[in-house]
Chains A and B, each alone.
Chain A
Amino acid sequence: MREMTFYGTPLPGLEPEPYAGKLIVVEGTDGVGRSTHIALLRSWLESRGHAVIDTGMTRSVLAGRGIKGAKIGTTLGRLTMQLFYATDFADRLENEMLPALRAGFVVLTDRYIYSAIARAAVRGVDPRWVRSIYGIALVPDLTLYLRINHTEELVARVLASGSKFDYWESGMDLHLGEDFYDSFVAYQARLLREFDAMSGEYGFRVVDASRSIRRVAADLRRAVARVLERDETVTRARGDKKASALVSSG
């Protein structure tokens, strides 16, 4: 059990409390393989007997649909975008992540506040503002940063996936290049710099994602296993005395 720690002001009505689950974040630029690795981690964790939920940006019941709708047009302003995503985040934090963590689940999240901070920084939005809004965020147990060395690798992956360059993933609202391709490369390179800059501050576990899926997956499993074991070791070291004391007092 670990005490909940928040980056800043916690959500209204929320008291920090010990929780049994684990919050594991998978971060990285677009096309780096986050969803593939989350799916792999999930089945591996489940095979080891852990209950898992996964979540990700724009998947909230409250704001997911609205954000997708707003992104169809090109009139979503940079401040509005930030706050819409923050709404989506808060809804998932309160209604998905925190209840699951209290119940002892491993929560795998595809992106966290760091993507929002990176996108804001790239768009010239005051990063201090975004960070204080996300003061409501729980400090994760582990943040896995899937890192590629060159944006060209991302391009190859987008092409391999057979999907076209997306307006927002290409940062077209920033007018960085004359077409989606140029813009995508320039935009992702800027995001990469932002992620790198945050890496030390937020204690990212950097994983070289330029390698094969198998090798990346093995690294991720090792890092996750360490976090899960750390907790088991601590519990064992503290002994059962404390646990039984808690049970009898409750």
Chain B
Amino acid sequence: MTMTSYGQHRFPGKLFVVEGTDGSGKSTQLALLYQWLKSEGHPVFFSEWNSSSLVKDTTRRAKRKHLFTPATFSLLHATDFADRTERDIIPPLKAGAIVLADRYIYTAFARDVARGCDRAWVREVYRFAVRPTVAFFFRAPLDVAIDRIVSGRPRLKYYEAGLDMGWTDDPEESFTLFQGKILEEYDRMVEEFGLTVIDATRSIETQQREMRQIVLRHLSGQAEEAA
């Protein structure tokens, strides 16, 4: 019963994850994919970043009181992710369902490394994760993503803007710096983890069409089994 490491799981289900900087439009795309898969009659489960009920209160309190350091930010998010993996991701995958995840381990890799955590250490912390069937990376140029967030929010949050790093006191400037580092990390990971890059500057419809085509290719086997 030793823990299998990243990529070694063999489950009948399929796991599709979306990744990208804030404001890249990934959540919109995943919601559309979810609707489509449901309407096609697939059993679909949805799992969101930072959603473990066991860990939620601790995270909320730590964010409010600014208790995090880069290490504890990383470890508590890994705790949240472990709970989701044990509870929301592995059981449906074993049962042969489709699991959609809004943000996955790559979010942690990008953010934690941007905060100064060691690249190899963070990857090791998440070694228990299930390797996704497809990991979509919605890539938007930095200025586009920043415009979408800054115009859509009254105020940038402390950790979201990377203000904990003390690079600058100006939230918008800090956010831009932080998101730049995150985007750099994502770009490095495209090859390392074989992320599927989706150009997030195109229309919502075009992106969704591309996404569905890719997902469909991975479902063909399942459809036959179901028929």
Q: Which A positions have Cβ atoms within 8 angstroms of B?
A: 8-9, 11-13, 61-63, 65-66, 69-70, 73, 75-80, 82-84, 86-87, 90-91, 94-95, 124-126, 129, 132-133, 135-136
28 residue pairs of the A-B complex, CB under 8 angstroms, read A9-B118, A9-B121, A12-B117, A13-B116, A62-B68, A62-B72, A63-B72, A65-B58, A66-B54, A69-B54, A75-B87, A77-B82, A79-B85, A80-B55, A80-B79, A80-B83, A83-B82, A84-B55, A90-B69, A90-B75, A94-B69, A94-B71, A94-B72, A124-B2, A126-B127, A129-B124, A129-B128, A133-B121
Total of A-B residue pairs, C-beta within 8 Å: 109
Query: Which residue of the partner chain, among B58, B71, B79, B87, contacts A12 with CB atoms under 8 Å?
Result: B71
Asked if B76 is at the interface of the complex by the 8 Å CB criterion, the answer is: yes
Asked if B223 is at the interface of the complex by the 8 Å CB criterion, the answer is: no
Q: Which B positions have Cβ atoms within 8 angstroms of A?
A: 1-3, 5, 52, 54-55, 57-58, 61-62, 67-72, 75-76, 78-79, 82-83, 85-87, 115-118, 120-121, 124-125, 127-128
Most chain B CB within a 10 A radius of its CB, from A11, A82, A83: A83
Contact A129 B54 (CB under 8 A): no
- Cα–Cα distance between A8 and B83 once the two chains are bound (Å): 25
A62 and B76 in contact, given A76-B54, A94-B69 (Cβ under 8 angstroms): yes
In the bound complex, residues from chain A placing their C-beta under 8 Å from that of B125 are 83, 133
By secondary structure, the A interface counts as helix
Query: Which residue of the partner chain, among B1, B58, B79, B121, contacts A124 with CB atoms under 8 Å?
Result: B1
Q: Closest approach, in angstroms, between the C-beta of A66 and any C-beta of chain B?
A: 3
Q: Which B residue sits closest to A76, measured CB to CB?
A: B54
Q: Closest approach, in angstroms, between the C-beta of B182 and any C-beta of chain A?
A: 16
Contact B124 A133 (CB under 8 A): yes
Q: Which A residue sits closest to B3, measured CB to CB?
A: A126
In the bound complex, residues from chain A placing their C-beta under 8 Å from that of B61 are 65
Q: Which B residue sits closest to A123, measured CB to CB?
A: B1
In the bound complex, residues from chain A placing their C-beta under 8 Å from that of B118 are 9, 12
* Sample of 17 further A-B pairs with CB below 8 A, known A13-B70, A83-B82: A11-B70, A11-B71, A12-B116, A63-B58, A63-B72, A65-B57, A69-B54, A73-B54, A75-B54, A79-B85, A83-B79, A86-B78, A87-B72, A90-B71, A91-B72, A125-B2, A136-B71
In the bound complex, residues from chain A placing their C-beta under 8 Å from that of B62 are 62
Query: Which residue of the partner chain, among B69, B78, B87, B115, contacts A77 with CB atoms under 8 Å?
Result: B87
Contact A12 B54 (CB under 8 A): no
In the bound complex, residues from chain B placing their C-beta under 8 Å from that of A65 are 57-58, 61
In the bound complex, residues from chain B placing their C-beta under 8 Å from that of A79 are 3, 82, 85-86, 128
Q: Which B residue sits closest to A85, measured CB to CB?
A: B79
Q: Which B residue sits closest to A69, measured CB to CB?
A: B57
Q: Closest approach, in angstroms, between the C-beta of A196 and any C-beta of chain B?
A: 20
Contact B70 A77 (CB under 8 A): no
Contact A62 B54 (CB under 8 A): no
In the bound complex, residues from chain A placing their C-beta under 8 Å from that of B86 are 77-80
Q: Which B residue sits closest to A126, measured CB to CB?
A: B3
Q: Closest approach, in angstroms, between the C-beta of A14 and any C-beta of chain B?
A: 9
A9 and B79 in contact, given A62-B68, A75-B54, A90-B72 (Cβ under 8 angstroms): no
